[in-house]
């Protein structure tokens, strides 16, 4: 490498060999460790990386794994949700029909009611005769009963009750209706 090559590459002015000058020892340059005029050896006396030894792996106990904590927490939440669902279902009292009404117009009886989301049965009681009209229930909370069908007259009453009360007799008595979660509406008012 010539002095111009060294200058171009950013090493600064370099004296040609044989002038008696040593590189790095000119005034203003940083001193290199060692005695003046001696160059340090380029060899490395220590190894670059230490030898790797295999680390011992101790098995973790089951209760120290994060998955164990997660599964215990989720099991706890599932138990709480189950208890809440049981308490709510026991205290809800089952399906219930709260109100019923009959609107007689244009030769038809329009029976409406409000109930919980349970299926309901519709009965018409005329005197001692009870007739099941559940097939006429539409949209869950109403039924149209045509007058030409002869299912009812001016003395009839409609009883709406949850479908799970099928084992009990249909009655117009207020205590029986309350026990069954049913409601009634009579044609004459």
Backbone angles phi, psi at 103, to 5 degrees: -120, 110
- Average pLDDT, stretch 32-38? 56
On whether both 115 and 166 belong to a single domain, the answer is: yes
Last residue of a domain, one of 91, 108, 143: 91
Task: For residue 104, tell me if it sits in a domain.
Answer: yes
Report in angstroms the alpha-carbon separations of 115 from 28, 97, 145. 100, 4, 19
Question: Quick one: what percent of the chain has pLDDT higher than 90?
Answer: 10
pLDDT 10s digits, 147-162? 888 888 888 888 888 8
Task: For residue 157, tell me if it sits in a domain.
Answer: yes
On whether both 106 and 165 belong to a single domain, the answer is: yes
Residue 59 predicted with pLDDT over 90:
no
On whether both 175 and 124 belong to a single domain, the answer is: yes
Determine the Cα–Cα distance for residues 11 and 17; give it in Å rounded to an integer: 15
Task: For residue 137, tell me if it sits in a domain.
Answer: yes
The secondary structure of residue 55, as a DSSP letter, is P
| Strand 97-105 versus strand 108-115 pairing type | antiparallel
Residue 183 predicted with pLDDT over 80:
yes
Burial of 97 (0-12, 13-18, 19+ CB in 10 A): buried
On whether both 141 and 173 belong to a single domain, the answer is: yes
On whether both 152 and 109 belong to a single domain, the answer is: yes
On whether both 149 and 74 belong to a single domain, the answer is: no
Residue 45 predicted with pLDDT over 90:
no
Per the structure, the complete domain to which residue 79 belongs is given by 62-91
- Average pLDDT, stretch 75-98? 87
Residue 107 predicted with pLDDT over 90:
no
Q: How many domains does the chain have?
A: 2
The 3-class secondary structure across 120-182, one letter per residue, is EEEEEEECCEEEECHHHEECCCEEEEEHHHCCCCCCCEEEEEEHHHCCCCCCCCHHHHHHHCC
């Amino acid at each position: 490498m010539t002095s111009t090559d060294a200058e171009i590459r950013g090493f600064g002015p370099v004296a040609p060999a044989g002038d008696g000058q040593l590189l790095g020892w000119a005034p203003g340059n940083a001193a290199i460790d060692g005695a003046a005029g001696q160059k340090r050896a380029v060899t490395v006396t220590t190894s670059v990386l230490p030898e790797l030894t295999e680390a011992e792996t101790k098995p973790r106990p089951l209760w120290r794994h994060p998955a164990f904590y997660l599964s215990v927490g989720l099991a706890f939440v599932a138990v709480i949700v189950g208890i809440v669902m049981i308490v709510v279902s026991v205290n809800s009292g089952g399906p219930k029909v709260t109100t019923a009404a009959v609107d007689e117009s244009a030769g038809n009886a329009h029976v409406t009611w409000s109930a919980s989301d349970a299926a309901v049965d519709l009965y018409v009681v005329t005197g001692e005769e009870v007739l099941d009209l559940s097939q006429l229930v539409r949209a869950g909370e109403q039924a149209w009963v045509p007058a030409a069908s002869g299912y009812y007259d001016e003395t009839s009453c409609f009883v709406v009750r949850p479908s799970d009360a099928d084992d009990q007799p249909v009655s117009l008595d207020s205590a029986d209706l309350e026990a069954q979660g049913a409601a009634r509406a009579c044609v004459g008012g």
